[in-house]
């Protein structure tokens, strides 16, 4: 059996595209639209024509005709010959204004803007629905890795219970390098900046803001509930030490910044948890082998079981690939009269507070090197029903440390325990608290 490409019918009206932004991703999108015009037309069933590119400053070194460049994005997106708007500017307020204007004008929109979607998916989805146009955003999470479409389409008939992933390449590069070299956080971050894996101001990445935006999007889709970035519990990696990685290796684990979106059922009631934090991950877990700037997302659903999506999660070409996939889908819908999946929020589940989340913990304590310390520490865990699975004692004298690994406990119980340990005379400092995810328990 042979499969023939869709070809455009004679006289088929071209699909006009406006691109907002000409940075790393925008430039690659523009290049693909122009260089692959013949293939794109065959896949869509109509020519795809670039109507204009909105930029801050018109320059002659952008490699595209000057008459396609404009600083008036609002005029561009409302033109009659524009059918689809691609937003790759970044930020929130300006893109929100432009995307909303495009949707209100009856244009379909493709965006890679996770920060925008994590705050305003509901507003934008309602605007798209009002005009019966598409809002696509595959590129907003994990770059070229297809995650959004499987959740909205392939798994639409299944019940997703958990989405667990490494969704930020910068932090994964830093933690992988610390694990491999034994270097500390500050040294590894400086190297990541030098190599271009981290921005000069890496706050959004290393403090978990970027991953939290992506977690909000994934949770919203997986659990049919509007989840915003403000609903996501967030911790970054800036407090991770070389000692944490050393202890992780001794426990046959590594450390990863995880985005976790989970359906929690208690007393027959479903709730949603969305959280981002660095966690110990056992070496045998598939996410432990995801190193460097790569991303991976594991989806656990009732009928399909565990699915893993892996690949390049950032960069101009991978992100542009995801943008182009959405652009082709939106263009096909324009040609053939279809529409993409709309927002699904029928479940409207309550967001579970972090204090209710149950997991295992690793607690690193600097302690006085004298008799009775272990029993005093163990007593504080026992008072709050936090069961200890294992204890390691490392060093001596002023460098004495206790490493405690717990069984499952609530976040509140562990937080109360840590607060009590801080008050013990024999505990000099609680130096690290990490959760353990992906274990068999």
Residue 129 lies in a domain: yes
Residue 425 lies in a domain: yes
Residue 342 lies in a domain: no
In the predicted model, what is the mean pLDDT of residues 115-124? 94
Q: Which of 6-15, 87-96, 305-314 has the lowest mean pLDDT?
A: 6-15
Same domain? For 128 and 152 the reply is no
Same domain? For 118 and 21 the reply is yes
Residue 40: half-sphere exposure toward Cβ, Cα within 13 Å: 26
Residue pair 239/273 in contact by the 8 Å Cβ criterion: no
CA–centroid distance for 127 within its chain? 24
Cα dihedral across residues 407, 276, 285, 364: positive or negative: negative
Same domain? For 234 and 171 the reply is yes
Environment class of 42 (CB within 10 Å of its CB; exposed 0-12, middle 13-18, buried 19+): middle
Q: 9 pLDDT exceeds 50?
A: yes
Same domain? For 162 and 280 the reply is yes
Q: Can you give the residue range of the structural domain that contains 368?
A: 357-436
**Average pLDDT over the chain, rounded to an integer:** 93
d(CA 178, CA 189): 9
Same domain? For 165 and 67 the reply is no
Largest pairwise CA distance in the chain: 88
Nearest to 139 by CA among 149, 127, 129: 149
Torsion (CA) 309, 313, 318, 321 in degrees, nearest 10: 50
Residue 341 lies in a domain: no
For tokens 């008939």, name the residue. Answer: 157
**How many other CB atoms sit within 10 Å of the CB of residue 292?**
12
Give the end of a domain, one of 282, 313, 344.
Answer: 313
Same domain? For 303 and 156 the reply is yes
In CATH, what number is assigned to the domain containing residue 366?
Answer: 3.30.70.260
The bridge status of strand 253-266 relative to strand 305-312 is: unpaired
Query: What's the number of domains the chain is made of?
Result: 3
The pair of structure tokens assigned to 16 is 């006009």
Predicted confidence band of residue 60 (pLDDT cuts 50, 70, 90): confident
Same domain? For 158 and 182 the reply is yes
Same domain? For 270 and 165 the reply is yes
- Residues belonging to the binding site for NADP(+) are 20-27
Same domain? For 22 and 171 the reply is no
- Residues belonging to the binding site are 20-27, 114, 199
Residue pair 132/338 in contact by the 8 Å Cβ criterion: no
Q: 42 pLDDT exceeds 80?
A: yes
Residue 344 lies in a domain: no
Same domain? For 371 and 266 the reply is no
Q: 440 pLDDT exceeds 60?
A: yes
pTM, 2 dp:
0.92
Nearest to 376 by CA among 415, 395, 402, 396: 402
pLDDT, tens digit, for every residue of 279-320?
999 999 999 999 998 999 999 999 999 999 999 877 788 899
Give the end of a domain, one of 336, 371, 391.
Answer: 336
The bridge status of strand 358-367 relative to strand 350-351 is: unpaired
In CATH, what number is assigned to the domain containing residue 272?
Answer: 3.30.360.10
Predicted confidence band of residue 268 (pLDDT cuts 50, 70, 90): confident
Give the end of a domain, one of 278, 313, 348.
Answer: 313
Same domain? For 67 and 152 the reply is no
d(CA 114, CA 315): 14
Same domain? For 152 and 296 the reply is yes
Instruction: List residues with catalytic annotation.
Output: 214
d(CA 155, CA 152): 6
Give residues with Cβ within 8 angstroms of 194, minimum separation 6. none
For tokens 């542009």, name the residue. Answer: 320
- Residues belonging to the binding site for NADPH are 114
Residue pair 219/225 in contact by the 8 Å Cβ criterion: yes
The pair of structure tokens assigned to 252 is 């046959």
Residue 101 lies in a domain: yes
Residue 266 lies in a domain: yes
Q: What is the DSSP letter of 231?
A: G
Residue 8 lies in a domain: no
- 3-class secondary structure for 100-153? HHHHHCCCEEEECCHHHHHHHHHHHHHHHHHHCCCEECHHHCCCCCCCHHHHHH
The pair of structure tokens assigned to 83 is 């059918």
**How many other CB atoms sit within 10 Å of the CB of residue 139?**
29
SS3 308: strand
């Amino acid at each position: 059996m042979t499969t023939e490409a869709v070809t455009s019918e004679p006289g088929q009206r071209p699909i006009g595209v406006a691109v907002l932004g000409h940075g790393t991703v925008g430039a690659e999108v523009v290049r693909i639209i122009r260089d692959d015009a013949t293939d794109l037309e065959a896949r869509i069933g109509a020519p795809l024509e670039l109507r204009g590119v909105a930029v801050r400053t018109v320059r002659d070194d952008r490699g595209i005709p000057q008459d396609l460049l404009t600083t008036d994005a609002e005029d561009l997106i409302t033109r009659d010959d524009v059918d689809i708007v691609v937003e790759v500017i970044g930020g929130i307020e300006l893109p929100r204004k432009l995307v909303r204007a495009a949707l209100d004008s009856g244009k379909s929109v493709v965006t890679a803007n996770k920060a925008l979607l994590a705050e305003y998916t509901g507003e934008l989805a309602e605007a798209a629905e009002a005009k019966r146009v598409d809002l696509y955003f595959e590129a907003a999470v994990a770059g070229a890795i297809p995650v959004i479409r499987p959740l909205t389409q392939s798994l639409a008939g299944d019940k997703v219970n958990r989405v667990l992933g490494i969704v930020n390449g910068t932090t994964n590069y830093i933690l992988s390098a610390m694990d491999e070299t034994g270097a500390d956080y500050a040294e590894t971050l400086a190297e990541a900046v030098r190599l271009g894996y981290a921005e000069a101001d890496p706050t959004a990445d290393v403090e978990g803001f970027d991953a939290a935006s992506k977690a909000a999007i994934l949770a919203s889709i997986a659990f049919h509930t509007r989840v915003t970035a403000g609903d996501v519990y967030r911790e970054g990696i800036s407090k991770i030490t070389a000692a944490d990685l050393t202890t992780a290796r001794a426990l046959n684990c590594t450390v990863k910044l995880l985005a976790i979106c989970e359906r929690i059922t208690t007393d027959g009631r479903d709730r949603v948890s969305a959280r981002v934090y660095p966690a110990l991950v056992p070496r045998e877990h598939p996410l432990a082998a995801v190193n460097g700037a790569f991303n991976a997302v594991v989806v656990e659903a009732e009928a399909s079981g565990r699915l893993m999506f892996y690949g390049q999660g950032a960069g101009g070409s991978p992100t542009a690939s995801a943008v182009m996939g959405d652009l082709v889908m939106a263009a096909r819908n324009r040609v053939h009269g279809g529409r993409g999946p709309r927002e699904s929020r029928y479940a409207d589940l309550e967001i579970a507070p972090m204090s209710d989340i149950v997991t295992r913990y690793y607690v690193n304590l600097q302690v006085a090197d004298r008799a009775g310390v272990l029993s005093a520490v163990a007593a504080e865990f026992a008072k709050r029903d936090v069961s200890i699975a294992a204890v390691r004692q490392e060093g001596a004298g002023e460098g004495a440390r206790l490493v405690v690994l717990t069984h499952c406990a609530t976040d509140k119980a562990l937080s109360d325990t840590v607060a009590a340990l801080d008050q013990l005379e024999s505990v000099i400092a609680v130096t690290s608290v990490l959760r353990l995810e992906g274990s068999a328990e």
